[in-house]
Amino acid sequence: MRLTIFFATLFVAIALTQAYFSGWFTTQPTQIGFMDSQQVSERIDFNRCHIGGGYNCVVDGDTIWMNGQKIRIADIDTPETHDYGCQSEKDLGDRATNRLEEILESGSITLQSINRDKDQYGRLLRIVMVNGQSVGQTLVGEGLARWYEGGRRPWC
């Protein structure tokens, strides 16, 4: 009996160690709540990935892929760059996308959970901070985004 418990404990310890060093704990969603956060200590280079899966890339002004996880910036809404309603929406969406990439590459990224873990499309919902500064607040302040109020609202 003691030998079985020993091997079970050893197995769990090895599994947890392997999961930790493979990055599982840092790429999985944090628990729901504003106090939980994940931080990436080094700067990450982002590319563009307008469609499909990606790894450390910007989809549009409010959606990114980071460490293999698709993340929707929870507190903002930016103009669409794919299914846009008019040319001015696409142009502003392209500017928001460019600016988001610049901001993300400028320092350490922290993800903060909100009261929901995922949206209807399966994207992780997170407040994104870079060097302690809210990405959403920056984009709203620069006129490239608006605060998210639920649902889809027109930009045209």
Q: Tell me which residues are annotated as active site.
A: 72, 80, 123
Residue 115, SS3?
Answer: strand
Compute φ and ψ for 58, nearest 5 degrees.
-100, 125
Q: Which letter does DSSP use for residue 100 in this model?
A: H
- Asked if residues 71 and 103 have their Cβ atoms less than 8 Å apart, the reply is no
Q: Which letter does DSSP use for residue 113 in this model?
A: E
Distance set, CA 65 to CA 27, 29, 94 (Å):
11, 13, 17
